[in-house]
Amino acid sequence: MAKKLVIKVTAGADAPERCSQAFTVAAVAVASGVDVSLWLTGESSWFALPGRAAGFELPHAAPLPDLIDSILAAGRITLCTQCAARREITEKDVIEGVRIAGSQVFVQESLADDTQALVY
């Protein structure tokens, strides 16, 4: 098993099952002791903002705010630089603990030794 897991979620409320799967896998991996880096891109970018995850609903799925809290407790959440800029989201707007970084950092994390990358 990879010691590190990088997950890129490209979907938000526009594709709720895919979105929820990404957050769920990230939270389960964190709970299992895996070093997790979750990347928010596209429509999932909105979940970097306080309160936005509370409006996300999917039957039989864990609440998104709870998943985000568990990921941030022991993992990392990053908002894509370009995605943030397109939505006029800045560092001062995001949930505490969420960073904004670009493709270079994503590639560096994804290609590190003992790392598995997943895209949802």
2-24 tens-digit pLDDT: 689 999 999 999 999 999 999 99
> What's the average model confidence in pLDDT over 103-115?
97
Reported as a single tens digit per residue, the pLDDT across 29-78 is 999 999 999 999 999 999 999 999 999 999 999 999 999 999 999 999 99
Q: Give Dmax (Cα) for the chain.
A: 38
Q: Which residues contact 97 (CB under 8 A, 6 or more apart)?
A: 72, 77
Using a cut of 0.85, tell me whether the model's pTM lies above it: yes
**What does the domain layout of the chain look like in residue ranges?**
4-119
Burial of 59 (0-12, 13-18, 19+ CB in 10 A): exposed
The two structure tokens encoding residue 118: 């997943």
**pLDDT value of residue 1:** 59
| Residue owning tokens 């939270």 | 27
> What's the average model confidence in pLDDT over 88-110?
98
**In the chain, which ranges are continuous DSSP H helix?**
16-31, 64-74, 81-86, 103-110
| Residue owning tokens 């409006």 | 55
Which of 3.40.1260.10, 3.40.190.10, 3.30.499.10, 3.40.50.620 would CATH assign to domain 4-119?
3.40.1260.10
User: How far apart are the C-alpha atoms of 40 and 71, rounded to whole Å?
Assistant: 13
Residue 86 in contact with residue 46, Cβ under 8 Å?
no
